[in-house]
Amino acid sequence: MTDYEVLRVFCGPDGRYGNELGVVRDGSAVPERAERQALARELGFSETVFVDDPERGEIDIYTPTLRLPFAGHPCVGTAWLLGVDRLVTPAGVVAVRRDGGLTRIEARPEWAPGRTLRQYGSAAEVDGLRVPPPGEWIYAWAWQDEAAGTVRARAFPGRGDGIDEDEATGAAALLLTARLGRALTITQGRGSQLLTGPRPGGLIEVGGRVMRAEPQPAGGVGSA
């Protein structure tokens, strides 16, 4: 049996919502990539993290169908859980800081997986979108208040893996922030919140609130 924890990452100001994240603290319990991929598919979260070295913050990230060199909400959630000041991902070292109950990471835009950033004329248009057919990873967004830097967004991974809409997507928020070149407060999905901003050296910061989800049944997930 493989033990794992479930976090909600990028919760709203009231502590609700957030994107669920599976974290296997003992990555050595699932050493092979094929096994990790199978477990991530079984768990069914948009991403699952395997912690290979908790002191160094070395992690490995999977969607239900593929391995990712970097992803935003897995990094924010795992940094919060481990209490580290950096994470080591296949893409590079991710700096971590904490501020007023928020966990923030810094990463390079080129580390983020490809996304189609599609702007709409109003938040209401974004709210009214239907899930598109699989094939393209779409981040739909609109200004709520451009002067204030507030954005309404929804994310459609388009992978055909059962995740039709992603509740909160740090990598896409990072790419949008890099494109716009300014700090943003993004409300995504049902009510998740992401706070972003440019940092020196071409880095982008993405942060938010993290909470534990409801406890999982004892015994974890079968590894057969």
Annotated catalytic sites, by residue? Answer: 47
Helix (H) or strand (E) holding 212: strand 204-212
> What is the spatial distance between Cα 83 and Cα 50, in angstroms, rounded to a whole number?
16
Give CA–CA dist 115/128, Å, rounded.
20
**Rg of the chain (C-alpha set):** 16
221 by Cβ neighbours in 10 Å (0-12 / 13-18 / 19+) ranks as: middle
Find, among 115, 76, 116, the residue nearest to 96 by Cα. 76
